[in-house]
Structure 1
Amino acid sequence: MKRRVVVTGMGVVSPLGNDVNTLWKRTKNGKSGIKTLKAAEFQDISTRIAGYVDDLAIDQYMEPKEQKKYDRFTQFAYSAAIQALEQANVDFETLDKDRAGVYIGSGTGGLQTVLDNHQTMLEKGKRRVSPFLIPAMIHNMASGYIAIQTGFRGPSYAAVSACATSNHAIGEAYTNIAHGYSDVILAGGTEATITPLYIAGFSKMRAMSTQNERPEKASRPFDQDRDGFVMSEGAGILFLEEYEHAKQRDAVILGEIVGYGNTTDAYHITAPDYRGAAKAMQLAIERAGINKEDIAYINAHGTSTPTGDVSETKAIKHIFGKHAYKQLKVSSTKSMLGHLFGAAGAVEAILTIKSMQENIFLPTTNLENPDPKLDLDYVANQATAGAIPYALSNGFGFGGHNAVLAFKKVY
């Protein structure tokens, strides 16, 4: 019999706040975290906006000497993990650490560390490369470092599937607990990619918005004037726990994960095929043991790209049929946060849980000129109230990776 899996702690680092309550308040009110990239090194790139983190009080979480050893993606993850552990009120003395794991992914890993050391090698020679280069850059170091700091000796894993990364991490952690292999797992994603190289690369793909004059308006999911996504950074971490384990220690339950769908398009390296996304949603619903009509809300992948938003809308219509036009609401919080890549799904999962707790459908901001091809209820521009018994959170990545999480409200 499959065990129930609940969320008892959440933590976040984001362009819209470095704690869950700040993030929630700002997204609920439709605020934007997108800003101009002012550094000279960005000025000859067609995209000069991003959702970057410049106000994290990292000293609250990590000693200065530790900060020097680890890339920002690990620093972000650790900061969010500490928040999640504190909210979950974990007793490290009584917790069975052999049944406690860490599943934290990253789409890119320690990119800035690689760039800095490559420059050092070119300017000063190979002998000046840092001995911390490899442990700082590898994708699994966020999971590894957090396991070391917490003493969690259960399964440790780092998903790498582009924009679907943290949905995969959370989904696989959910499956591990549900099947009885672990009692608790810290799960999510982290990303720190705001660099000239990364932005230049996506600019050459013509995948990002070039609406530099109005950064807060640049991310426009489902809008006719959308011209690409906006890159962002940060981390989202959830403390997942087996239901009876949480009840036994009187933990406050924030929400429940009830389903997980995981598919691959097997179609194209960057262009989506709606059938893969649709199948992932279908599997999440089936594995949750619910009907599609039970879903009241979808936190969409909704990147603000011309083809991606069309494909996702088509997938939703394919699965939900008439229900897509009746009670179902769909919104993209990337309209405010931008796209956090490997951290996107985890931050959006946190927002989905908060939406269910507070009975509020978060808005898709900047939806001012609706695309006639996109005709669902995208909660345009302003949050609305309503009950959300079940919700989906979508994550679709380059390479055709699809991961969908199904959540249930806990009353």
Structure 2
Amino acid sequence: MTSTESSRIVITGVGLTAPNGNTLAEFRENLLQGVARISNIEMRYMGQVHAGVCDFDAKKYQARRELRNSTRAGSIAIFCSREAVADSGVEWESVDTSRVGVYIGTTEHGNVETENEIYNISQYDYDVRFWSHHHNPRTVANNPAGEVTLNLGITGPHYTIGAACAAGNAGIIQACQMLRLGEVDFALAGGVSESIRTFGIFAGFKSQGALAVHEDPNKASRPFDRARNGIVVSEGGAIYTLERLEDAQKRGARIYGEIVGYKINSDATDAVLPNSERQKECIEAALAKAGMKPADIHIVNTHATSTPQGDAQECKAIREVFPAETCPETRVNNTKSFIGHAMGAAGALELAGNLPSFEDGMVHPTINVDDLDPECALPNLVKNTPEKRPEITTILNNSFGMLGINSCLIVKKFAE
């Protein structure tokens, strides 16, 4: 099937697992009800740390033998992909799987398995006979996407997109581009994270002074609050089925929304500290691609991770693009306050948390904002309780990552 760059790309299915929900309906209900689910887990060499842990049924789509050979990221990707395909209503048996593409963003894949294998052989005097012979396929960068193709019998292209914490958005953007190029007719796209399975992530953030600590784990992730002190590391995933509009309409698919704008750029200034000017440019370029003005956006979902400098920098960019005087209908929220930072899955999960706004007209809040930091004062920030709006037709989703990668995705309520 041929296509053009002007093809409209729509979302027709959603599959996810988050610390506070394994379906879109459950996830959304908990966001509206203010339900966070952050746990304390035991981490080797570190003791107890806060973490967002998912509780999904991996055996629903994988046999026991598959699970022995699989990675956690792969299992999350398979679960979410299968759920998305089921949700899309597509007759999978009649799909030409050579025309299906799998594009999954991830942050840290590979080091998780290596770290765990090294720890395992350390118990046996580092005898490599105890090293898993599944190590290589587990650690290659394309693993999560590749596991999906094996499980679903997909023979089209697959790869993971390493884009730090902008990876979830990047996976969706890549799928849009491949659909518009006519390389595929159906795409599975989004992001996954297995970050809580490695002490290195936690130790790295702790050494930077960026690991959240709070007596109540459910209050540890507190973007914009004056007392915020770092990131809550989480696992999870969100995968979408994406199609060209004409293909979705031909089969009578339900349409969650249309992807109308996106942009990825780079700070080129620091490996860790964000650059608000580049973030602003990323947002503005996504708006330009969508043919929209800032005032056209109804929800801005922030990336804010609960670090002092990171949150303040993003807030500066948002204030400059969306001033209250000219954007009175724009509302701002944050999803990490509920689930922590799901790294490569963050952008994809956060988009999912807001998608139902097109139908219910609600903006889910940012929770744990007890004492708003003046540096994070934003026009129309929705704090602690949801807000009902007369109309919600546009969502702008920010995701930024280390080494200065920025991504912005705009989704619009579908209209003919």
TM bucket normalised to smaller: over 0.9
Instruction: Determine if the alignment matches structure 1 residue 383 to structure 2 residue 376.
Output: no
Distance 1:113 1:227 in 2: 29
Cα shift readout 1:78-122 (whole Å, capped 9, x = no counterpart): 101110000012222332323210001210114442222212333
CA shift at 1:320, angstroms?
Answer: 2.6
Cα shift readout 1:363-407 (whole Å, capped 9, x = no counterpart): 000111011222212200011111211110010001000011000
Instruction: Determine if the alignment matches structure 1 residue 396 to structure 2 residue 400.
Output: yes
Distance 1:357 1:153 in 2: 35
Give runs of aligned pairs for residues 251-262 of structure 1, distance below 5 A.
251-262=253-264
CA shift at 1:340, angstroms?
Answer: 0.1
2:265 counterpart residue number: 263
Cα shift readout 1:259-307 (whole Å, capped 9, x = no counterpart): 1111000010000001111111111111112222110111110111111
Contact 2:295–2:328 (CA<8 Å) still a contact in 1?
A: no
Q: 1:209 to 1:325 in 2, by over 3 A?
A: farther
Instruction: Determine if the alignment matches structure 1 residue 27 to structure 2 residue 31.
Output: yes
Give runs of aligned pairs for residues 156-235 of structure 1, distance below 5 A.
156-194=158-196, 195-211=198-214, 213-235=215-237
Contact 1:9–1:87 (CA<8 Å) still a contact in 2?
A: yes
Q: Which SS does the other structure have where 1:93 is aligned? A: helix
Q: Which SS does the other structure have where 2:44 is aligned? A: helix
In structure 1, the gaps of 5 or more residues are none
Distance 1:184 1:336 in 2: 31
Distance 1:402 1:152 in 2: 30
Q: 1:40 to 1:310 in 2, by over 3 A?
A: closer
Cα shift readout 1:194-225 (whole Å, capped 9, x = no counterpart): 133321221111112121x1111111111111
Moved more, 67-76 or 320-329: 320-329
Q: 1:43 to 1:244 in 2, by over 3 A?
A: same
Distance 1:22 1:237 in 2: 16
Q: 1:140 aligns with which of 122, 139, 142?
A: 142
Contact 1:105–1:140 (CA<8 Å) still a contact in 2?
A: no
1:239 counterpart residue number: 241
Instruction: Determine if the alignment matches structure 1 residue 2 to structure 2 residue 6.
Output: yes
2:153 counterpart residue number: 151
CA shift at 1:256, angstroms?
Answer: 0.9
Distance 1:24 1:257 in 2: 20
Q: 1:108 to 1:324 in 2, by over 3 A?
A: farther
Moved more, 319-328 or 169-178: 319-328
Q: Cα RMSD (Å) of the superposition?
A: 1.7
**Identity percentage over the alignment?**
33
2:136 maps to amino acid: I
| Count of matched residue positions in the alignment of Structure 1 and Structure 2 | 406
Distance 1:100 1:14 in 2: 25
Instruction: Determine if the alignment matches structure 1 residue 82 to structure 2 residue 85.
Output: no
Q: Which SS does the other structure have where 2:79 is aligned? A: helix
1:29 maps to amino acid: Q
1:359 counterpart residue number: 361
In structure 2, the gaps of 5 or more residues are none
Contact 1:3–1:180 (CA<8 Å) still a contact in 2?
A: no
Instruction: Determine if the alignment matches structure 1 residue 409 to structure 2 residue 410.
Output: no
Distance 1:357 1:142 in 2: 32
TM-score (norm 1): 0.95
1:64 counterpart residue number: 64
TM-score (norm 2): 0.94
Q: Which SS does the other structure have where 1:391 is aligned? A: strand
1:190 maps to amino acid: V
Distance 1:185 1:92 in 2: 13
Contact 1:293–1:323 (CA<8 Å) still a contact in 2?
A: no
Q: 1:323 to 1:75 in 2, by over 3 A?
A: farther
Distance 2:110 2:238 in 1: 17
Q: 2:283 aligns with which of 281, 293, 298?
A: 281
Q: 1:179 to 1:292 in 2, by over 3 A?
A: farther
CA shift at 1:359, angstroms?
Answer: 1.3
CA shift at 1:352, angstroms?
Answer: 2.2
Q: Which SS does the other structure have where 1:379 is aligned? A: coil
2:58 maps to amino acid: I
Q: 1:167 to 1:324 in 2, by over 3 A?
A: farther
Cα shift readout 1:51-87 (whole Å, capped 9, x = no counterpart): 112x221111210100000111110111011100000
